[in-house]
Amino acid sequence: MQIACNVYDDYQDAMTLIDLANPTRFLTLTARLLPWLAALTAILLLVGLYQSAMAPDDYQQGATVKIMFIHVPNAWLSMFVWGVMSLAALGTLVWRHPLADVAAKAAAPIGAAFTFLALLTGSLWGRPMWGTYWEWDARLTSVLILFLMYLGLIALWRAVEDPSRAARAAAILTLVGAINLPIIKFSVDWWNTLHQPASVMRMGGPSLDQAFLIPLLVMAVAFSLLFVTLHLAAMRNEILRRRVRALQMMQVSRRSA
Partner 1 sequence: MTALAALITRDLKIALRVGGGALIGVLFFLTVVVLMPFAVGPDLALLTRLGPAILWLGALLASLLTLDRLFMADHEDGSLDLIVMGRAPLELACAAKALAHWLAAGLPLIVATPVLGLLLNLDATATSAVALTLLAGTPALTFTGMIGAALAVTLHRGGLLLAVLVLPLSIPVLIFGVAASQAAIAGPLSFGTPFSILCALSLVSFVIGPFAAAASLRQGLD
Does residue 191 interact with partner 1 by CB under 8 A? yes
The single residue among 38, 45, 184, 201 that binds partner 1, judged by CB under 8 A, is: 184
Does residue 50 interact with partner 1 by CB under 8 A? no
CA torsion, ordered 31, 245, 97, 152, to nearest 10 deg:
-100
Stretch binding partner 1 (CB under 8 A), from 53-61, 95-103, 119-127, 177-185: 177-185
Stretch binding partner 1 (CB under 8 A), from 7-15, 105-113, 158-166, 198-206: 158-166
* Contact string 118-147 vs partner 1 (x = CB under 8 A): ---------------------------x--
> Judged by CB, which is closer to partner 1: 152, or 204?
152
Alpha carbons 94 and 102: distance in angstroms, whole number: 15
Tell me how many degrees the CA angle 228-157-234 measures, rounded to the nearest 5: 25
Kindly state the smallest distance separating residue 253's Cβ from partner 1, in Å: 22
Q: State which of positions 76-105 bind partner 1 (CB under 8 A).
A: 93
> Judged by CB, which is closer to partner 1: 180, or 251?
180
| Sites of contact with partner 1 (CB under 8 A) | 93, 145, 148-149, 151-152, 155-156, 159-160, 165, 168-169, 172-173, 175-177, 179-180, 183-184, 186-188, 190-191, 194
